[in-house]
A and B are shown apart, each in its own frame.
Chain A
């Protein structure tokens, strides 16, 4: 993969986002924040999808990606005995750490998209794609320290659970009010606090138990199949 042309493409996409925001504000009198927000989240995912479509990926890498995406989709059912626990975040973090930024982002975004194919699409899909994608991306960027320190891993996974929840609450606020209403947002965050806490804690526990074994498995596969 050559660096410069792809970098340019990213840049173009990145420029598109503010363009949409400005256009949205200009055309719709700044009232349709939600529409703008949906567009922005989709546009933010596009460069990754575009780059993935346009380069050669070995079938083995493709399969490993599909396997990880599948785990994050079915993880919910497999660990149904823990209430409110979705291992998606944890699996996306592991994918990011061990398979790199692209796989991390794709695993996050595709998990959101595909699992909603199964559990039902909703207005939240684009935000989920964006949020989980970012979590994958950041865990790839922090790959080294996260592999070294368990404490950091715990903090990171709990934080990403919190961030995810906060981000989706922003989207809900936008839906409800058409604009960002701080008091509404505060209320939403407060009501979702218990679920958020369980979610963050379960992420940390899950990663604590499984990050290392799954990481070893992924590393072995990477070496064995030359991914």
Chain B
């Protein structure tokens, strides 16, 4: 499904590191420059990997969220030294308004990064990651992934079987509730009783021997190492910037100046590049294919 997303072709471990770094840094900072980079990077990637309709749907969702969060902040927060006007005897301050915008941008960025994460990391990648850290829970996860389509199909099958006997009624809400509960009950019995088969099938294949090692189809290739290295280098630079206080930013009582010294610029550059990595890969690949096609 997501074969068309270039960034999704990396090894899950590299991808996980990348997203973890992005999330932690974005959640950590109030610095508007960094948040802007994060938001732009995530938005561009989201746009590059969505259809036109999806982009419109996203705009319809994120813009109101953004507005609501930024508008509500001054209502709840009255800190800040520059009152713009008074509402119910409470000051609405410039700082609170700008802080609201900043937080809205941060939350949107985090949500978009989470969305990108979900898009790129499909179940197989998660199993690969999970399998290394928690082999047993990953067995539960893969069983669950197997059961989901099975139970859904079975639910329909049972519903049909009961319908064909005039057993399933959906006139009123309570009829519908009882009928669905009856189907659900039959499904629970089916699933629990037949679960013994699944358990036997696991036992028969030596689960109890111990020392299970998870296997995944992904291979760690050179390009995965490259992504990992880039992520590590840029994150380290960003982290050093954070520790040196270059990312510090305060809204209350007065808005701090944005740092523009050399070290800060390096921090911005590093984090900016980190944010844009997924988008750059998409664009690069798109251009590459265009070029290849023009050769034909």
Q: Is the CB of B118 within 8 A of A59?
A: no
A221 nearest in chain B by CB position: B192
List the one stretch of B196-204, B220-228, B273-281, B285-293 in contact with chain A. Answer: B196-204
Q: Is the CB of A178 within 8 A of B103?
A: yes
* Tally of contacts, chain A with chain B, CB under 8 A: 146
- Alpha-carbon distance between A213 and B184 when the two chains are bound, in angstroms: 10
B127 nearest in chain A by CB position: A117
Q: Is the CB of B195 within 8 A of A71?
A: no
A38 nearest in chain B by CB position: B27
Which B residues touch A66, using CB under 8 A?
140, 143-144, 147, 195
- Alpha-carbon distance between A97 and B114 when the two chains are bound, in angstroms: 34
A77 at the binding interface (Cβ < 8 Å): yes
Q: Is the CB of A53 within 8 A of B136?
A: yes
Q: Is the CB of B123 within 8 A of A117?
A: yes
A163 at the binding interface (Cβ < 8 Å): no
Q: Is the CB of B195 within 8 A of A63?
A: yes
Give the interface centre of B69, B178, B195, B196 by most chain A CB atoms within 10 Å.
B195
Known contacts being A59-B203, A176-B73, is A71 close to B185, with CB within 8 Å?
A: no
Q: Which bucket holds chain A's interface residue count?
A: 35 or more
Q: Is the CB of B202 within 8 A of A74?
A: no
B52 at the binding interface (Cβ < 8 Å): no
- Alpha-carbon distance between A79 and B176 when the two chains are bound, in angstroms: 10
B141 at the binding interface (Cβ < 8 Å): yes
CB distance from B232 to the nearest CB of A (A): 21
Which A residues touch B188, using CB under 8 A?
71, 213-214, 217
Within 8 A of B (CB), among A29-69: 31-32, 34-35, 38, 49, 52-53, 56-60, 62-67, 69
**Residues of B in contact with A (beta carbons under 8 Å apart):** 24, 27-28, 30, 69, 72-73, 76-77, 103, 107, 110-111, 114-115, 117-118, 123, 126, 134-137, 139-141, 143-144, 147-148, 151-152, 155, 176-178, 180-181, 184-185, 188-189, 191-193, 195-196, 198-200, 202-203, 207-208
